Amino acid sequence: MVTVSSPPSARRVVVTGMGAISPIGNDVVSLWDSLVHGRSGIAPITSFDTAGFETTFAAEVKGFDPTAYMDRKDARRLDRFIQFAVAAALQAVHQSRLVINGEIAPEVGVLIGSGIGGLATLSENLEILRAKGPRRVSPFLIPMMIPDMAAGQVSIVLGAKGLNYCITSACASGADAIGTAFETLRRGDAKAMITGGSEAPITPIGLAGFQQAGALSRRNDDPQGSSRPFDAQRDGFVLGEGAAILVLEELSFALERGAPILGEVISYGQAGDAYHITSPAPQGEGGARAMAQALRKAGLRPDQIDHINAHGTSTVLNDKYETAAIKAVFGEASYGIPISATKSMSGHLIGAAGALEAVASILAIQHSLLPPTINYQVRDAECDLDYVPNVARPKRLTYVLSNSLGFGGHNSTLIFARYDR
């Protein structure tokens, strides 16, 4: 068990708006409906010909029309990952009822993570370069490709003039963006932050790269059953795409303007593995330290956590070592904490994953309902905790912990709480 102490007093940070573009819903209401009903967004890839690939399915965003959020000319000049971020940010700001005018604009920051950035734009323009020469490459290549441009475009569209940047830490990018935005507000460097993650890696080169790294499931005969976190028959993750954005505000500012308060962010922990470029450290040692740090900074005992949204990728080592990390931190209490792996439905959104799972964590608190881990059929002796198998479960929640673990040894933990004035 981990010994924790009370944190110093600091500004409280609340969530006032959320938006999502995802493989299982293009708004928060649709996302939640899919999560609680165990619907998978995984299917054969439709955006390009997968002949010759060993994996032919992914978790694509379906029915997304960028012109519902921007004009057609602007949409053509934005990579898909930027379109997703702008759309989700507009949803989140609308729900928060935050008016970003001249007076408040310098106090509103934007921090959006992306692990890869505009991979489709880069790939397309490499083909143009080879076939037609440098003069035919798009003048918008660089601003469409670089990972920081999701944050840049969101700030331009919304007129947010506070701090503005991007965090890239692979699959922890979205969680790190939210955690850093939280700390920005706690130290008083902004009054509101528009934060989360966005990714659009489902391209031929993206699929090929993850395939050759040995990371992807190859269940081509059963795409919807392919992502099976913590199940003994898991064989890899499923590539996904989308964006999730949260509006975070310093509590007094949110109360002053009468904002809807959906939940509270109370802690953020980080740790590095210093071990391997893709594999987690043995026994999840880095992830355990991130969770322990988040608990310590929140002043919480391990037995106060009501629910964990796991990183839960459906890879052999990640699930095994994340389970070991949870046991190391929570001890015997770990057997009484229900754990959901929502990637079983959404796929793995890489840099947007932690942000989507942050939204799922807040929704679970709001609705007192645990999303299931679908496709859980065969128990693994090394993964022997309560993974909320296959069916959603009612439970009143006060504290929810969410893990994000990335290639390169990045480990990030967020803790959310039911808002209590």
Task: Please give the Cα distance from 354 to 416 (Å, whole number).
Answer: 13
Annotated catalytic residue 94: no
Catalytic residue, chosen from 37, 276, 307, 311, is 311
Which of 107, 29, 42, 33 minimizes the C-alpha distance to 237?
A: 42
CA dihedral 141, 145, 149, 150 (to 10 degrees): 130
Which residue of the set 166, 307, 348, 410 is catalytic? 348
Provide DSSP, 121-176. Answer: HHHHHHHHHHHH-GGGS-TTHHHHHSTTHHHHHHHHHHT--S-EE----GGGHHHH
Helices 80-96/149-158 angle, 10° precision: 40
Number of Cβ within 10 Å of residue 67's Cβ equals: 11
CB 234 within 8 A of CB 228: yes
**CA angle at residue 376 from 375 to 379, to 5 degrees?**
150
The catalytic residue among 37, 94, 166, 171 is 171
Q: How far apart are CA 339 and CA 9, in angstroms?
A: 30
CB 23, CB 346: distance < 8 Å: yes
Residues 295 and 328: their CA atoms lie apart, in Å, by: 13
Distance CA 186, CA 190 (A): 9
DSSP state of 87: H
Q: Is 166 a catalytic residue?
A: no
DSSP 8-state assignment for residue 292 = H
Q: Are 149 and 82 in contact (CB under 8 A)?
A: yes
311 is catalytic: yes
How far is it, in rounded angstroms, from Cα 93 to Cα 256?
A: 17
> What are the residue numbers of the active site?
171, 311, 348
